[in-house]
Structure 1
Amino acid sequence: MELPDLLTDLFRRHRDRTALRTAGRSWTYQELDRVTGALAARIGRECPPGRRVLVAGEHTIEATVWALAVMRSHGVYTPMNPGLPADRFVEFARVAEAGLLVCFDRAALLRAERAGIAALHAGDVGWPAEAAPAGETTRSRVAYSIFTSGSTGNPKLVDVGHGGLLNLCRSLRRRLDITPDDDVLQFGSLSFDASITEILGALYAGATLVVPAQDGVSWLGSVSRHLAAHGADLAMIPPSVYARLDAAARGRIRKVQFCGEALGENEYREAARHGRVFNAYGPTEATVCFSLAELTEFENTIGTPNDGFRAVVRDPETGAYATAGTGELIIVGDGVALGYAGATGTENDVFRTYEGSPAYATGDVVTLAPDGRLAYVGRNDEQIKRLGHRVNLAHVESLLARHLGRDVALIRRDETILLVTTGEGADTPESLMARIRGLVPVWEAPDHVVLTGELPLTPGGKVDRNALRDRLDTPAPAEDDADAAVLAQVLGVVTAVLGREIDPETSIFDAGGSSLAMIQIQVKLSEAHGEHAVEAAFAAMDYDFVPATFVRHLGGGTVAAAASPAETLLHRVERDRDALRAELPTLRRDTRHDPDPAIGDRAVLLTGASGFIGGHVLDRLLTAGRGVLVVATGDPERVLTGHRARFGRAAADYARVRAITYAELEQWIDRRRGPALDAVLHCGYQVNHLLPLDSHLTGSVRNTTLVVRGAAALGARSFAFLSAASAGREFGPLSAAALTAAGDPYSRSKLIAEEHVNTLAGLGCAVAHYRPGLVYGHRPEDHDHLKDDWFTALIGTARRVGVMPRITGHVPVCDVGTLAGTLLAGIGPGPDARSAVVVHRTYPLGELLAHAGLTAADVVEPAEWFERVRAGGEVSPPLLAAMQAALSGPGWPTAHREVEHDILGRLLGSVHASSRR
């Protein structure tokens, strides 16, 4: 029986029973018959017969209904993971030679356009009332296709025929004892073929397929809460996922079928406490499920073959086949897949015949008992299971080597996967991991990137993996460094999953992580620290994940005793601040002031002179004839030479300027000798909203602390700090609430730097913090300072692509000349030396559209805009990420105009004019 006929028969056989349910909505079999029939007819009008229909959706009842509609149509059901990287998505679509894409996210429409295939957005179609009469058409011999990887790293498709589906359904109903009264959990992603067993197994038995409503960020957390509240008669899930469910959820599963990865004894014993336990095995190439066992005690078995299948083993040395013994498992029967579409070379050689029947060589080593029971031994190649997906390391290694343009080796060390490559070029482990995340899905990505010298080779010219493993061995951390070592290991796992570093006190969801990322992190940490300890830590965090909080809970902390991430950070800042406050009086008292003939007495210390704002401040100081001590992160002389060229000044203008490095300033402080200062204007700070907090603390905040110490030692009477409007609109004592309200690590670091500067007030030094919005007013010579500016890049990109992302609130902008005057006015004690948020003008969406030459009709949602821009490849990934981070907030809440001239208009007009020269 072919798949469309099978579903039609089931819908009509069980008519009035409930077929599908989610929170607040259910469908009878009769309703599903009508709706899926109507949608199948619509698909038939959009897609040529026999072509693949891509379904890019998951974890919703809407996506499940459409999946059933495609199965009933004359197309070939081909689910796709909607979270694939854009290039990978387009590549998969092309390999599928698809006739249609069904999607649930409008950003996918852009991907379909890029791949040159027709697309239907489910929201535009709705639920048709009645199906049009179906005409006669030729169906494909392929029932459905599922993506996997090829030996060259290219995507390929497993084409599964109709022959094994009825046997699959019969076996599941009989062996799992599925009844019409059962609720069957629909957990698996549609792109993972376990969802086929959930959907067809439930419907064949007349049971109810239940799709939990996603009630938070984490899909796993939503499933866990659903199970705790409602339970399930049958759940088909990987052991590592079962271990992540909370105790209440596990206790309400009546039957659990483990699948996707090896079953451990801990998971078996926990599941056996609450109900019946089954263990299933089956590659994609054997219609999902080949064998099944009900376990009444823990044993290493994957059961006996399902209806329509039989097993033989092949001796790897002689090639002989046997019906008992140990060897490579050969699956025989009508449920063997038809082959790989898009395969290259000899990949389809795994499909063969045995005694006239279709057969598949699995590559899995098993022991086959005379009574037909199978015990899994391992793999005969480099394939492993990760997050329920089978991954061929050789395939992934080939793909990454090709796309990264360098030699790589994937090395297994226990359950950790390392990508080892040479340290040539400017790539860092972090930058390589970020690129890898754009090439492969998370289950194929390595856990860490390791840079080394040349890769060692065997005499035959292949990578010597044993030599690499020996090279990578490192001693265990000292016992007193245990907490730091655990945190470093946890952060390494998080970095590998997310593709970039995050602050230890930041939630992975705040850092852009997904529920799939959460599951992978949980699995990896369980492998390192044990199931029960990790389970308890995750339960304490309510299935959020903050690295430092996890480490505290792992060490036995409780929710009541553990401080929040912001409180922990605040304590750290307060400790550093108090130490600085205690040191400053001794610096003020003990430092000897040596007159400097160049800068004179009571000069101004300036940082950031090579930056956009600091450069304008230095120009103003030169005009005023002030002596200036420039402190620079780079070569001091190059800073002054660059400033001279930028502002067209003569060398004589710098007669009263002396430039030193931060290291020289620190030497002055340590030696308690240096020139006397009047004021400090601290403009030097790395503006990067994507860096983790630790990078800011060890970089810009550390430099700020050094300048504060210098201000105390050299007798400065005032200190003006160029902060940021993103740090907030209120000035007051630093608190955990203020750190929480600051939306990103850069903004939090500005608040911390302000707190360090405030310690100077105890010496009688006048302190002022200026928090400006986006600062413009660039001259042609200043345009280099716009290369990493997210806002002007966004306007320019919107102008090029002809659409603007929807922006809420206002964008706060400052004029650099006016801001420089404000900073200079703060020199010395007096009424002008006060902290302030500095915004000269705000721009709403309407004005931004006018500057980009667009109208309200050209506005799209941010997700769609970013997808289009990303697909065009016009903007670098870091700059695109900065745009996304900036647009994730609510925007400036109120309109404001302090200057009449159009700051943004002047900027964009200048850029446009300069581009014509």
Structure 2
Amino acid sequence: MISQVLEGMELMLDQLLQDPTITTDRLSYVSATEYQDLIYNWNATGVEYDTSVTLHELFERQVEKTPDHIALVYEDVKLSYRELNGRSNQLAHYLLQNYEIKPDELIPLCLERSEQMLIGILGVLKSGGAYVPMDPNYPMDRIEHILGDTKARVVIGEEDTIKKLFEYKSETNDLSILSLNSLEIQYEVNKCSSDNPKTDVSSGDLSYVIYTSGTTGKPKGVMIEHKSVVNLMDSIREVYGSSTLGKVSAYTSYVFDVSVSEFFSALLYGNELYILSEDIKKDSDLISDYLLAHEITHTYLPPALLSILPRKDYPNLQTILYAGEPCDEETGRYWGEYKKLYNLYGPTESTIYATYREIKSGEVHLIGRSIANTTTYVLDEYLRPVPVGAIGELYIGGVGLSRGYLNLPELTDEKFLANPFQIEEERKKGYNNRIYKTGDLVRYLPGGDLEYMGRNDFQVKIRGYRIELGEIENGLLSYEGICQAAVLAKENSSRLKYLIGYYVSDTAINHEELSVHLSGLIPEYMMPSVYVHLKELPITINGKLDRRALPEPIFTGDKEYIAPETPLQQSLAEIYGEVLDLPVASIGLHDDFFRLGGNSIMAIKLISKIYHQLGIQIKVADVFKGRMIGVLSLIITNYKAEYKAIVSLNNAINKPNMFMIHSGGVGCEVYQSLADKLDNDYHCYGVDYYNLYHEEKIDNLNRLAMYYLDHMEEIQMKRQGEEYILLGWSLGGQIALEIASELESRGHKNITVYLLDTIIKYSDSELMNISPFSDEEISREFQIPMDNNYFIKIKNVLSAELILSRQNISTKLRFTKTVLLKAMLKENKEERELITEYIQQLTYNNVDIVLEDSSLLKVYPINALHRNMLEEEAAIIDVIKRDLTK
């Protein structure tokens, strides 16, 4: 059908701004020279700062300025700057006297949240070493990995946290364990000088090493130097404000680098640091009470917590920071209007934060511009800059870059590259000579802000979700008895992806139990479709996992095989086999469609084949209810095919209505997954395809739109005055525009239409010259023999669709807000090449011609093929939710 051929359009960026009246608010074209100038200006972030000073020296300077001011508060403990400095000096002298700490020596900490945590950090820094934070609740294998990787001679803990370390000590015999609250150590430390120690440490030495999770499951240590942190602190001082009378809360665990920002943005500038206890951190009401009781002026809170923070009046609170992930738009809008709200972005490898932006109107995905002495580049896979507005991978340069990964030179070389964009002036200064490959997808907006789009590293994408295979593997490894695990994503013959979980254990494990275990760790979309038990994982000659040698899964056989008995059951087994690419002889009555490798997208194909071959139109819900052939055959036997023009796709009863209009050749069930994920925002109704259920086809666009609108009004009348919200993919978008035209003629003005890569065809366009599909093309496209009864049915549907697609919208739209989500990717197909080439030249898919006021049109590029638009659920939802808040 036409709508399935019109796929894979590539947006022509050099035409995007030809019509300045069109709002494309995410895309921009500039010449190559202008682009270079823009990137150069956006990266002109060089600012003078003290490159010779260390973190603890800056703290000591502040102690001299405000010795008696409160520095730190934890529960009932309050320490002045003088007291905190003196106690950390004593610990530093103790370390120097007993261990002769040298610059770059790594000293792990295993401390609970308290004033001791800051004393330990400062004591290590003042001794000349670099601290390595460990959570006392870490599994022992992680602690052992860190102690071994750092080659630690001494570890600092407390009585309650060091117990598990003695087993490791007994095996190595060369590790000293210090307990800061043991009477013996306290006595020895208290005898040491409280004066600032003098060491050979410099700003180019390490200040800390923080371990982050790796895709292999083994944490990797990121090495950060003093000068990098000093630059960061100096740069974000503007965010916190320069007042020396502020009160800064510390929420983050010290094993995450955000804590460094919390600690030192207070202690380097004379502010008071308030450490939240573990009990308070877990309760949003307690956090709220704490902010009020202690008159906190500056706080960092993770987005999930910020969204549930009670919305009281916080008269002293001036600035709120969040980082790590976007917060939801409603939360961002509320706090951005109430207080100064900043989104801070940066991987650990670039010293906590690399960019920042104040969020005022809910633009929570904007990560803003670079902090001082930091450069950003948006590049393609060949390290070439992509145009403004196009999506690429973010690379970061500047003084914040880590030295690399501890004891991992190959990974360091892989992630930290020579900077091909270093200019001569930077080269002379020895500045900006490396860039870090973040794995984050972003794009430059025309004003210079960066917009965060997602991840692009060791991940696969299934049904629109980006999935980290390492996370699933770690989940499998957490099951008792599994000693090794691997996860692969594969495609069946229909090019539909599914996940396979391989595991090594002494005996095979019940797969249902494995699924139950994983369901408590990972979301449903990350669950493997099948598990494979192995005695050992295959490895290459280099000792690495040989993924190509992993065996193909056997989907059937989990339960006792019972052969299909009736003709209907045998037909269903054959259809299961076709859809899942499995041998029919192995599919029994009790085999679960989803356990055999099926998913929601494949379920759509299943019901299509059932209709094609059996003449019965069932729903996706029936497949979920009757997963096994035996059950599904009973449902079909009792099934009465009844056409309903409007079908409720979710249960969001009190939310605004959204009508999702079928595409060509398929019913509204294709929107089921999208509707499920919008149930917090919209009550989604599917507008089902009349022509699939009726012998007499409707091939008049206005008549079809009027038919649907009559049914929609019955639902919408219950919510009089509410906005009409329509969504349509391909042909469905064209029908939606015709419905909008009819609504406007009836006096409605509050209408929004979302078009999923709809292309409007006009009498003066090349598209009008498209010839109908030949019988051979239809047979090949649908894999249906021309002598099959269903062939005539589908040919009639396609003929009606071709006529529908050639018709103009009845009137130009004057009020309808129109949002076009345009497919950016080009399919490598030669057939009907002239059509594809013509469509690529359509900047707005001809949608702008439909509108009387073209400023009503917004265009969002989607990194997808036309035929795969619905797999980009996350991007579609992001656009809809952004538009919802505007």
**TM-score grouping bracket, smaller chain normalisation:** 0.3 to 0.5
* TM-score, with structure 2 as normaliser: 0.47
Per chain length, whose mean CA-contact separation is higher, i.e. which structure has more relative contact order (CA < 8 Å, sep 6+)? 2
Instruction: Write 1 or 2 for the structure with the bigger share of helix.
Output: 1
* TM-score, with structure 1 as normaliser: 0.46
